[in-house]
Amino acid sequence: MKFRNKELWEYFFDKPKKHYNIYMYEMPKYPNHLIFDDEEILNAKGMWNETYFKNNNELHLEIGSGSANFTNNKALQNPDINFLGVELRLKRLVQAARKAEKNELKNLIFLKKRVSSLQEFIGANELSGLYINFPDPWENEEHKRIFGPKLLNDLDVVLKSGSKIYFKTDHLNYYLDILELIKNNENYEVVYNTDDLYNSEKAIDNIKTEFEHLFLSKHNMNIKYIEIVKK
């Protein structure tokens, strides 16, 4: 199978393999809900609504969408908001796209993309909401965290003023570090935070991620939650 004069494997691997991830062959089956061509993703910068969603609705993004229980439900609940879910793992991307297709969602697209910089594929002031759910806390290697000063520098450009960042974690130090990070940044403000999401007023609207379901079934630990607004 070829796309743009490339073999399918070339979109996922640097060299041919004897055995490929079986989900690689599933990726092209969901053209309305899944983009795995990095060039196509980069070319969409600043034009996601115009090119793919065909409307002027708000654009929201989830980093690390997994198999997308969260993003699919957000899209179902908010048909007037466009959603992008970014994920690297092929199995999770296929599972996510299947859900979106089953739900006939026209406001949700998943991208196979490593997020080194949001400015690679999101234009200036193109984003109206960002969700970061249970990112790796990288204990003792905090510089590798997805949410840190570098992300805020990107959001200075791509996130519209007045828009929100939504952050969930099971990791206390990560939670406290984000509160401190925002406290020391004049462009952002914490408008809500709790170290016990399920015993807060936000619990009723919470959509659980797959990790959240699994985590809560095995551990008795509070989920931490922060809402941040860009000034």
Ligand-binding annotation for 53, yes or no, is no
Q: Spell out a b/e string for 33-51, using b for 16 or more CB atoms within 10 Å of the CB, else e.
A: bbbbeeeebeebbeebbee
pLDDT-derived band of residue 4, with 50, 70 and 90 as boundaries?
low
Domain boundaries, the chain: 2-9+20-230
Instruction: Kindly indicate the confidence band of residue 92, based on its pLDDT and cuts at 50, 70 and 90.
Output: very high
Confidence of residue 214 (pLDDT cuts 50, 70, 90): confident
30-84 tens-digit pLDDT? 999 999 999 999 999 999 999 999 999 999 999 999 999 999 999 999 999 999 9
The pLDDT value recorded for residue 38 is: 95
State pTM to two decimals. Answer: 0.95
Say whether 126 counts as a known binding-site residue: no
Is 209 part of any known ligand binding site?
yes
Contact partners, residue 201, CB within 8 Å, separation at least 6: none
**Marked catalytic residue, from 14, 37, 80, 136:** 136
Looking at the structure, give the CATH architecture of the domain made up of residues 2-9+20-230: 3-Layer(aba) Sandwich (3.40)
Residue 230 has pLDDT above 70, yes or no: yes
Segment 162-197, tens digit of pLDDT? 999 999 999 999 999 999 999 999 999 999 999 999
> Is 70 exceeded by the pLDDT of residue 145?
yes
Q: What is the pLDDT confidence band of residue 2, given thresholds at 50, 70 and 90?
A: low
Amino acid symbol at 201: E
Which pLDDT value is given to residue 6?
A: 83
What's the Rg (C-alpha) of the chain? 18
3-state SS track over the chain: CEECCEEHHHHCCCCCCCCCCHHHHHHHHCCCCEECCHHHHHHCCCCHHHHHHCCCCEEEEEECCCCCHHHHHHHHHCCCEEEEEEECCHHHHHHHHHHHHHCCCCCEEEEECCCCCHHHCCCCCCEEEEEEECCCCCCCCHHHCCCCHHHHHHHHHHEEEEEEEEEEECCHHHHHHHHHHHHCCCCEEEEEEECCHHHCCCHHHCCCCHHHHHHHHHCCCCCEEEEEEEC
Q: Is 70 annotated as a binding residue?
A: no
Mean pLDDT of the chain: 95
Residue 138 has pLDDT above 70, yes or no: yes
10 Å Cβ neighbour count for 168? 22
Q: Is 211 annotated as a binding residue?
A: yes
pLDDT value for 27:
96
Q: Provide the pLDDT for residue 80.
A: 99
136 is known as an active-site residue: yes
Was 87 annotated as part of a binding site? Answer: yes
